[in-house]
Structure 1
Amino acid sequence: MLNDYLRVHGYAATDGDRFGWDTRIGVQAFAKDIGVLGADSVGSFDPSWVVFLPDGGVVQKVEFTVGAPAPAPGAEVVTLRSSLVDAVLLENAPPENDPPDKDGARSEPVEPTTTAAANEVLVVNGETIGLAEDRQRVKPDYLGDLASMVADGSPSLVAVLRTDAAPGEWVVPVPGVIIDPSGATCVKVRSNDGVRSVPVSIVGTTDGRMVVSGDLEPADSIAVYPTSVSITCT
């Protein structure tokens, strides 16, 4: 194990588990790099030279000072950044005054959870984040990416459920979708012969635009009208 540790960190090491001559050279070089007095004459590896972090993690704060006396056994030497173990889709952000417990964990969310539709994808800061099978949680494989986007100490961050257009569906400007007084929904398609109404059904929204289904073509030009203008689908 010692030889593996030295080798991984770029120091000389004997093959196998023996404490050979190369291991001694590697230990002395390591001791010199970390400031051990008399490093050139050490003949063994002192476990007190390193800090063992059984769970791993990212160090947020170092609790000791270089050059000061060594911390007492059992003393805190580093504070790890809280890790993200779960992420749930909520309709609203949890209260900011919900403090973490002593281990950095927070209480279960009390706001109603949101279930993403089959054709919705979760987007955070422009990046797509994978969802678990229940469509209410983030896939464990994406928690690391998500954690890098969360501000320290914040219990939540803003995300968007984006509706991707499926075959037979179209993404159009929101002002181009008309809902007239009769409840009919349509878009107006421009052509050389004028403007014609095409009935559509609203599927969802994506990036500030509307996803609709209807008898449209990729080359169709959708007319957009000011909200102050009264337009009907007839």
Structure 2
Amino acid sequence: MSLTELIAGVEDHEKRLTVFNADSDAVAALSEQFHDRNVDVVGEHTPSGRPKTFAVLSSDGSFVTAADVDNILEPTTTEETEPGFDGEAYQPILDHLDETMFTSYDIGQMVAASREIEDRAWRVGKGTLHSGFQKLSILQDQMDIYEQLAEKKHLEVHAYAVPDADVPDHDSDLTIHVERSDEIERSWFVAYDGAGVDVNKCALLAEEREPRSFYGFWTYDPSTVDWIIDHLDSTYGLVESQ
């Protein structure tokens, strides 16, 4: 299975958020709130009209969780935040949206999401971080950050890119994998193994389906993170490093 096939597998499992006994404005607000997720938002009413304004999340027809609509609606006065992995904005529904697709993320959103994983690796300070930059020229622009990460004594850092430029000079232990691979050229990924601790594992995986527009998912699921890292380890062996 390839990285693209993994993305397609997640994409095939759309979740549904059914909003009960809420007015059309609330349903529309939730639809907009989750517009860049692979979540179908629909409105329904119970015969009794009770309980008032609650939402049920289901996956493949099976119940996942329920929450009061007021607890998951973003306050209209709150400024829009960058996408991330803290899960605070949409509690508690987003606690159950692991491996949910996002659509049409631009470069700014992808960078913001990537920084969350890189920051976790930095704070833990050990383990292994794998990052796909698509092209060496793109990696060049991120070398300051990745050399800083690679300076962590117990953190092993791997970067993957196709050769459209020279391998960047560096003085750190950063390992650069130079790959003539369509998969690497299409994919943006950041995967952290959590130093072997499951609760620390996380990954972002996306593919460029339109020019500089990315479709993919993030995950905290340890088995999915392990699969991504195992795939990278077993598939890409050509290494160009200092």
Band the TM-score falls in, shorter-chain normalisation: under 0.3
TM-score (norm 2): 0.24
Q: Which has the higher contact order (CA 8 A, sep 6+)?
A: 2
More strand by share: 2
Which structure: larger Rg? 1
TM-score (norm 1): 0.24
More helix by share: 2
